[in-house]
Amino acid sequence: MDFDSACADLVDGLVDAGRIDRPATERALRAVPRHEFVPTSCREAAYQDRPLPIGEGQTISAPHMVAMMSDLFAPDPGDRILEIGTGCGYHAAVTAELVDDTVYSVEVEPALADRARDRFDRLGYDVRVRVGDGFDGWPAEAPYDGAYLTCAPESTPGPVVEQVRPGARIIAPVGRGRQELVRLTRRADGGVDRSRHGGVRFVPMRSPDS
């Protein structure tokens, strides 16, 4: 299979359908080889616009959803970013294409974290992965210029909000059962402004002992 052509066709289709707004997002999706982030058995479907299983009961998000979240997030090149939910590493790789600094990612499943680290090392992405509880964020590396979640909590974890700078954005799918994608912007007083961006379906966020 010609993965380069398949990737180009996928991104062309997302652009034509109005699914990508920012040129930086388009360039990032063209640059990341999605087929490297899915199991061998799924590689021929890697450039279809749909989620795929990656093991441990988890999935890789559909490309249009990664594009939408990246557009809403809109990081600046010099930003330090926190990701909650490494999964296979695809979304973090897209983010790494958008920023020049390290991406810090927390994953609850040790097996997924190990495989993601191997991919980042092999493909040359500046992403650090910590195995732990995403509800706690990664306080040792805070503060961050933005954060996003690739799994759905009932409400955005307070520690993640506290670990981003005033003015920073947090993108998260939120809810149990019915989920919606939200963008939070942290205010200088510690509160947040919220905007809603439609219904979504993500794997639930969980702690290591759940």
| pLDDT at residue 210 greater than cutoff 80 | no
The pTM of this model reads 0.96
Q: Which among 56, 59, 60, 66 is positioned nearest to 14, based on CA atoms? A: 66
Instruction: Please name each of the domains of the chain with its CATH number.
Output: 3-200 (3.40.50.150)
Q: CA neighbours within 13 Å on the CB side: how many for 40?
A: 0
61 in catalytic set: yes
Structure tokens at 155: 């409400």
pLDDT score for 208: 85
pLDDT score for 87: 96
Structure tokens at 157: 């974890």
For the CA atoms of the chain, what is the radius of gyration?
16
- Give the distance between the most distant pair of CA atoms in the chain: 53
Rounded Cα distance between 59 and 37, Å, is 11
Please pick, among 61, 105, 207, 210, the residue that the annotation labels catalytic: 61
Residues 38-67: tens digit of each pLDDT: 999 999 999 999 999 998 889 999 999 999
Residues 107-123: tens digit of each pLDDT: 999 999 999 999 999 99
pLDDT score for 190: 87
Q: Which among 29, 39, 12, 104 is positioned nearest to 65, based on CA atoms? A: 29
Cβ contact 54:123 at 8 Å:
no
